[in-house]
Amino acid sequence: MSTAHERVADAIRNEISTKRWKVGDRLPGELNLASRFQVSRNTVRRALETLEAANLVRRHQGKGTFVADQGISHISGDLRSFTEIIRSLGMTPGVLDIEVTVDPNPPEDAKTYLPGSKFWLIERVRTANHRPFCIMQSWLPDTDGWDISPDQLKQRQSLYDLLEAKDRRPAHATEVIRAEAATAAEARTLDVEHGSPLLTMYRWTSDSRGRPIEYVRSTSPGTLYEYVIRLRQ
């Protein structure tokens, strides 16, 4: 059963998704929302915190709460697929321009981490609500003589679902996040300016048995993606 603040957050989320509130619109104040939903101001505040964590709103001190551009907040420690994260935010995941090849010259990090000497390279442009969101490159070892096709990925969308079907469900990962400038090709694909800042994630992934199964480079416009790190003392 959902809590009061979750119900308020869901109601506001629905109003944003149905375009009652559009990007840049200022939401009613906390007292107004508390009166409307018949809840306490603290409940409204918690609901807005939930929406802000999901990158649906932005709160500005002294100015109010505004509908944010539909980017994504990724919480550190959340090892879900891109498809799962996008769906959890009420958005539609998609994939464009899939290429699957055997890479004769993978990055050094992929060669030193993954077993074997043959590596699949899966290159995809991932979309959220039909908008190009990230360029994702995944290197996988061919230790079991797999065959991976673009059709398989188009049908499943999630590479993690495909890995799970092959008993290689990702269970653990280490990530490094870097700020990088968009190359000319990346700028064209992501519809950003050449040289604009991109948030680039490098990930080393293993399965539940500790077997290395994937090395990833994923890059997104800095305006659409953010990492949230929760600290506790």
Structure confidence at residue 218 (pLDDT):
95
Structure confidence at residue 157 (pLDDT):
62
Structure confidence at residue 131 (pLDDT):
83
Q: What is the pTM of this model?
A: 0.67
Structure confidence at residue 225 (pLDDT):
74
φ/ψ of residue 5, rounded to 5: -70, -30
Structure confidence at residue 61 (pLDDT):
77
Q: pLDDT tens for residues 2-50?
A: 789 999 999 998 888 888 888 788 999 999 999 999 999 999 999 998 8
Confidence of residue 81 (pLDDT cuts 50, 70, 90): confident
* CATH 3.40.1410.10 domain extents, the chain: 72-228
Q: pLDDT tens for residues 90-139?
A: 778 888 888 888 899 999 999 999 998 889 999 999 988 888 889 999 99
* CATH 1.10.10.10 domain extents, the chain: 4-67
CATH code, residues 4-67 = 1.10.10.10
CATH topology of domain 72-228: Chorismate lyase (3.40.1410)
